[in-house]
Structure 1
Amino acid sequence: MKKRLFMLSILGISISALLAGCNPGGGPGSNLSLGMDAIEAQEYSEALTCLNRALAEGEDKRLTYRGLGIAHMGLGEYDRAVDDFMNSLKGSNGLVGKLDYDINYYMALSQFKSGDLDAALDTYNAILGLDDKQADAHYLRGRIELLKNDKTAALADFDRAVELKSSDYDLYISIYEALDDAGDKQDGENYINMALQKNGRMTDYQSGLFSYYLGKYDEARQSLEAARKDDESDKLVLYLGRSYEALGDINYAATLYREYLEKDPDSACIYNEEGLMYLKQEEYMKALTAFENGMALNDPSYNQSLMFNEAVTYEYLLDFKKAAVLMKEYIEKYPDDEEAQREYIFLSTR
């Protein structure tokens, strides 16, 4: 049975990563502030306790309902999240501001995650009806349109998004990934090539990243090695290592990851990638150690991937009981992962 593994790119946006951003709260020590701090820590049940207390004690209703919506999203309770965001929007003074857009973006994501694509599309339509220059809304609406098999509309939205953010390199790659996921890699590569043509002042790192996504691994390696002379971030090392792996030089990739972790032992990103590499080599105990080391860092951006990969590693080790326990803990924390739920049912029967 082929297992899914989390291989997060720098653009892979998990729910936890999104929820950790843009979280205005009340004053220090307020229930609202404590609730938003709990959301940052991915302690969503604790957040609900604090935020419901904030409502009861008359703290800012608009921000509190927004926080409740985010907490319910974190718990996978998307219908309740939509209700919370609607209540938050009711507190608007009628003048559309940044907070209104912020709440609508969260609400659209909740609608999408609940399976209501039409409602999500309506929300993005509303955002763009107020401001057609919202590039993120064009991109996200395009994702919905792809799922609804309206490729023409999706490409129009993607084109508008890159028109508005022509120098946003991450956006081009996000569009590539969306089209690739939809089985249209060719159109995805067209956006990568468009980025290369439009942006002549690209750094070695950016050039290497685009080359990697185009499958030009040797060019990616060369550009990333050049970039490494000036700046060796974990994201650069991640894609440099992946390029070497794609070229068949797994040993050198392993050396890259190990040398980087010796210099910076606080990179959950590289621990995750090292673990995935060891899994490919069927060195399961080394993989397990890498994932456990990464989890010990408690990095919200990588906790989900590391937790899932740890459970899968125990399965490869044929310790199905331990794998089932870990997968149960995983789906309790990330209940919207339907594939993990199916995996847990499978493990429970072993």
Structure 2
Amino acid sequence: MAVMRRKSATLMVMLGTMLLGSGCGSFAGHKNTDLGLAHIQSYEYEEAAASFDAAEAAGENARLLYRARGILDQNLGQYDLAVEDFLKSLSATSGIPGDMDFDTNYYLADAYIHLGKYDEATKVYDAILDLRKRDKEAYYMRGMARLNSEDHDGAINDFNKAMSLSPRNYDLRIMIYKALSANGFEEEGKGILEACLNNTDPNMTNYEKGQISYYLGNNADAQSYLELARNERDTEKAPVVLLLGQTGEKQGDYNYAVSVYKTFLAEDPNHPDIYNQLGLCQVSTGDYEGAVNSFEAGLALGSSEYDRALMMNEITAYEYAGNFAQAKTLMEKYRKAYPNDLDAEREEIFLSTR
């Protein structure tokens, strides 16, 4: 493992939302490790473990193998083991750290955060920032770790640095607002969003104005901006439609929201996130059959990013409809794919009594 300037900054951790990492690709001659990663994508965890055992027996690259095992551990909720495996992967690195090592360090920090070890996660981000001083993601994630460890001032400093590195990244500002709000600092978070509108960026799009207005609770303004954005020729429509429908939901106008989602999906059906939101809206109106159809349409698109939410929401729709037998069957499938979901474990116990 490469040694840095500070004793605590041995490069240790990519973001938990990334499953297989970016820029890593498939490594020729490491077929068992690659096969195991493919099994993880298919939620076949026993098969993945067997592939990694075969990789070890075949003497495949330790750096790749331990990293892959750490990813499996995280998917199983075994974060202590994940930490051990990611550290072993990083120890097998020789020379200057590459993109994969930074990616593994992000995974490591994510495992520490799940364990509530925020100081350890912070040290990992320190190490990343020693080498990548303009890494806005690391500043943001370190801010999150500090916020969770009740270091408010340190978190704000990191958030401000991340924002300074991304002066027009409004998604980042919304994430910071959500984090501050969830930790009891909603007014401070709102101040960040209000500054976005008050500074009057001449390049700010109607969609961005709509986003900020939505999170500030100005639903009428949000709806107006988003309707304008929906009719703009060069604007990506899916995120606009998703938020536009939610402005209707927040105001209790579910018919409007359903109409927005269905109109869009009739023209462009390849959006599992919008099928998911449509289904949730239909659950709210008591249209459980329609909700199930929406969730199943989303699942049929095969998007691993949204499968988890779609599966759980379909189970909920069947529960509301009183079809506990089908809900129980689907829950067994869900639990196999996501064994570390403790809320689902409790729900499974509830269904077993129906």
TM-score, normalised with respect to structure 1: 0.87
Counterpart position of 2:47 = 46
Q: How does 1:59-98 map to 2 (within 5 A)?
A: 59-98=60-99
Is the Cα–Cα contact under 8 Å of residues 26 and 60 in structure 1 kept in the other structure?
no
Which of 336, 341, 348 is the equivalent residue of 1:337? 341
Counterpart position of 1:10 = none
The AA in structure 1 aligned to 2:350 is F
SS at match of 1:18: coil
Is the Cα–Cα contact under 8 Å of residues 25 and 63 in structure 1 kept in the other structure?
no
Q: How does 1:121-132 map to 2 (within 5 A)?
A: 121-132=122-133
Counterpart position of 2:19 = 19
**Distance in 2 (alpha carbons) for counterparts of 1:141 and 1:109:** 11
Counterpart position of 2:259 = 255
**Distance in 2 (alpha carbons) for counterparts of 1:140 and 1:181:** 15
Which of 280, 305, 311 is the equivalent residue of 1:307? 311
Is the Cα–Cα contact under 8 Å of residues 30 and 61 in structure 2 kept in the other structure?
no
Q: State the Cα deviation string for residues 240-268 of structure 1 (Å, max 9, x = none).
A: 11112223432222112112221222221
Q: State the Cα deviation string for residues 319-340 of structure 1 (Å, max 9, x = none).
A: 3343334334323322332222
Counterpart position of 1:241 = 245
Is the Cα–Cα contact under 8 Å of residues 25 and 36 in structure 1 kept in the other structure?
no
Q: CA deviation at 1:134?
A: 2.3
Q: State the Cα deviation string for residues 298-345 of structure 1 (Å, max 9, x = none).
A: 211110101111111122122334333433432332233222222223
Counterpart position of 2:204 = 202
Counterpart position of 2:223 = 221
Q: How many correspondences in the alignment?
A: 337
Greater shift, 320-329 or 83-92, is seen at 320-329
Q: State the Cα deviation string for residues 24-47 of structure 1 (Å, max 9, x = none).
A: 321288333333333444444433
**For residues 343 and 266 of structure 1, do their structure 2 counterparts lie closer, same or farther at Cα, with a shift above 3 Å needed?**
same
Greater shift, 230-239 or 41-50, is seen at 41-50
Greater shift, 31-40 or 135-144, is seen at 31-40
**For residues 56 and 311 of structure 1, do their structure 2 counterparts lie closer, same or farther at Cα, with a shift above 3 Å needed?**
same
Counterpart position of 2:165 = 164
Is the Cα–Cα contact under 8 Å of residues 142 and 155 in structure 1 kept in the other structure?
yes
Is the Cα–Cα contact under 8 Å of residues 44 and 337 in structure 2 kept in the other structure?
no
Is the Cα–Cα contact under 8 Å of residues 234 and 269 in structure 1 kept in the other structure?
no
Greater shift, 118-127 or 173-182, is seen at 118-127
**Distance in 2 (alpha carbons) for counterparts of 1:199 and 1:50:** 52
Q: How does 1:267-306 map to 2 (within 5 A)?
A: 267-306=271-310
**Distance in 1 (alpha carbons) for counterparts of 2:30 and 2:226:** 45
Counterpart position of 1:111 = 112
Q: CA deviation at 1:109?
A: 0.6
Q: State the Cα deviation string for residues 17-72 of structure 1 (Å, max 9, x = none).
A: 42154243212883333333334444444333333323322333212221221122
Counterpart position of 1:146 = 147
Gaps of 5+ in 1: 1-13
**Distance in 1 (alpha carbons) for counterparts of 2:310 and 2:108:** 27
Matched, 1:264 2:265: no
**Distance in 2 (alpha carbons) for counterparts of 1:157 and 1:331:** 37
Q: CA deviation at 1:238?
A: 0.7
Counterpart position of 2:324 = 320
Is the Cα–Cα contact under 8 Å of residues 112 and 120 in structure 2 kept in the other structure?
yes
The AA in structure 2 aligned to 1:200 is P
The AA in structure 2 aligned to 1:333 is A
Gaps of 5+ in 2: 1-14
Is the Cα–Cα contact under 8 Å of residues 237 and 257 in structure 1 kept in the other structure?
yes
**Distance in 1 (alpha carbons) for counterparts of 2:228 and 2:29:** 45
User: Structure 1 residue runs of 4+, over 4 Å off?
Assistant: none
